[in-house]
């Protein structure tokens, strides 16, 4: 089956990975389930796989949730191991993590808790260059997460994504967690997800070399907001490398994150961090991107025409680099999708 249900083409990339691993059926767990049409597991379900989905809201009514096999649960680093092991044991074939916030800490808690999926996809924040390791705070464990602010740890502005650039963690931080637990990153849906495979099961197959050009896709540049580096809630972010090397000292990791954010804000080519303002009349609604964006012409700082943000509504986050745009997103199936994957040069060597 070549129809895609994912927000990008994650489910078709998964098919390619499972073929390489000679896996034809298995079990899945989807953490964060927005709808069937944007699900990473719906194609697997329709192909005979079995599994469960968890989400804070699911689909809104009991009958739809039963049909979709979605259980309402607020997913966190505290409960992820229990949720997964009770439903799927310690060896599910595939786990999808797409929470917009604490994805990295849920991933780390899952792998650190003895659960060993063969394949995972994890959402990342594509506004960051690959070399930074900035992470959304673990709001269930970082009691100091908002100590530098006037709010509390459970302040909604600290704990949740409200549609701006403050969401998730950088690809660099997630790659560090993958390496820490013996996983390799074998694919990317640019702007959306990293694909992790258990290193022992991937074996000697080639692993693509990640570059910023593979993962960087600016998005959710919203109206009348200063760059992320200047916001109060950004002070709760942590530098994952420093957090780990300091044995979990949140204050030190937060200071390092502030330094990294300041360096990003000094660059003119990263609109998420620069001080930009966009009038309501200039906003562009990009329904294919699930975002309201501010075009470069309306920004107070100049954005280079050659940057990824030069055409804010082009395609979907996962397809910006391919040049197919909304045409492929509309077709979502068959030959167009196969041609896209065949020309996806950044990971071709791995397959």
Which residue ranges make up each domain of the chain? 10-350
Residue 54 confidence class, pLDDT cut points 50, 70, 90: very high
Burial 100-111 (b: 16+ CB within 10 A, else e): bbbbbbbbbbbb
Contact 106, 145 (CB under 8 A): no
pLDDT (0 to 100) of residue 38: 85
d(CA 283, CA 278): 7
- For 289, the token pair is 């991107």
- For 231, the token pair is 């916001």
d(CA 279, CA 228): 18
Residue 115 confidence class, pLDDT cut points 50, 70, 90: very high
Q: What percent of the chain has pLDDT over 90?
A: 44
Question: CA nearest 166: which of 122, 246, 259, 229?
Answer: 229
Q: What is the mean pLDDT of the chain?
A: 78
- How many Cβ atoms sit within 10 Å of the Cβ of residue 257? 25
Q: Where is pLDDT greater, at 281 or 64?
A: 64
Contact 123, 161 (CB under 8 A): no
Q: Where is pLDDT greater, at 193 or 297?
A: 193
Q: What percent of the chain has pLDDT over 70?
A: 68
d(CA 265, CA 253): 18
Query: What string of DSSP letters covers 12-73?
Result: HHHHHHHHHHT----EEEEES---GGG-SSHHHHHTT-EEEEEESSTTSSHHHHHHHTEEE-
Task: Give the lowest-confidence range in 36-50, 229-243, 324-338.
Answer: 324-338
Tell whether the model's pLDDT for residue 274 goes beyond 70.
Answer: no
Q: Which residue has the tokens 């994952």?
A: 240
Contact 294, 275 (CB under 8 A): no
* pLDDT (average), residues 271-293: 58
* pLDDT (average), residues 20-36: 92
SS (H, E, C) 275-312: CECCCHHHCEEEHHHCEEECCHHHCCCCCCCCCHHHCC
pLDDT (0 to 100) of residue 349: 47
Of the options 3.40.50.300, 3.90.1150.10, 3.40.640.10, 3.40.50.150, the CATH number for the domain spanning 10-350: 3.40.50.150
pLDDT (0 to 100) of residue 284: 61
């Amino acid at each position: 089956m070549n129809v895609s249900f994912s927000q990008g083409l994650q489910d078709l990339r998964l098919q390619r990975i499972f073929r390489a691993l000679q896996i034809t059926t298995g079990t899945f767990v989807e953490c964060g389930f927005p709808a069937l049409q944007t699900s990473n597991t719906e194609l697997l379900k329709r192909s005979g796989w079995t599994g469960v989905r968890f989400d804070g809201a699911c689909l809104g009514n009991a009958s739809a949730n039963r049909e979709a096999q979605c259980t309402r649960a607020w997913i966190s680093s505290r409960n992820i191991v229990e949720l997964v092991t009770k439903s799927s044991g310690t060896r599910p074939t595939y786990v999808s993590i797409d929470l917009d916030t604490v994805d990295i800490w849920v991933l780390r808690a899952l792998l650190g808790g003895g659960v060993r999926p063969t394949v995972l996809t994890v959402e990342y924040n594509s506004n960051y260059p690959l070399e930074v390791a900035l992470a959304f705070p673990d709001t269930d464990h970082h009691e100091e997460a908002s100590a530098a602010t006037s709010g509390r740890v459970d302040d909604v502005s600290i704990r949740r994504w409200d549609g701006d650039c403050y969401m998730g963690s950088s690809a660099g931080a997630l790659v560090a967690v993958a390496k820490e637990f013996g996983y390799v990153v074998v694919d990317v849906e640019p702007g959306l997800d990293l694909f992790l495979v258990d290193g022992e099961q991937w074996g000697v197959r080639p692993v693509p070399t990640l570059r910023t050009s593979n993962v960087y896709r600016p998005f959710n540049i919203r109206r009348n907001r200063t760059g992320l580096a200047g916001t109060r809630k950004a002070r709760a972010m942590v530098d994952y490398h420093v957090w780990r090397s300091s044995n979990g000292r949140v204050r030190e990791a937060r200071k390092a994150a502030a330094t990294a954010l300041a360096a990003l804000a000094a660059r003119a080519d990263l609109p998420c961090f620069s001080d930009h303002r966009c009038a309501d009349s200039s906003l562009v609604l990009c329904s294919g991107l699930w975002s309201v964006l501010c075009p470069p012409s309306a920004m107070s700082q100049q954005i280079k025409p050659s940057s990824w943000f030069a055409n804010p509504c082009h395609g979907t986050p996962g397809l910006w680099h391919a040049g197919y745009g909304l045409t492929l997103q509309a077709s979502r199936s068959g030959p167009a999708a196969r041609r896209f994957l065949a020309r996806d040069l950044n990971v071709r060597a791995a397959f």
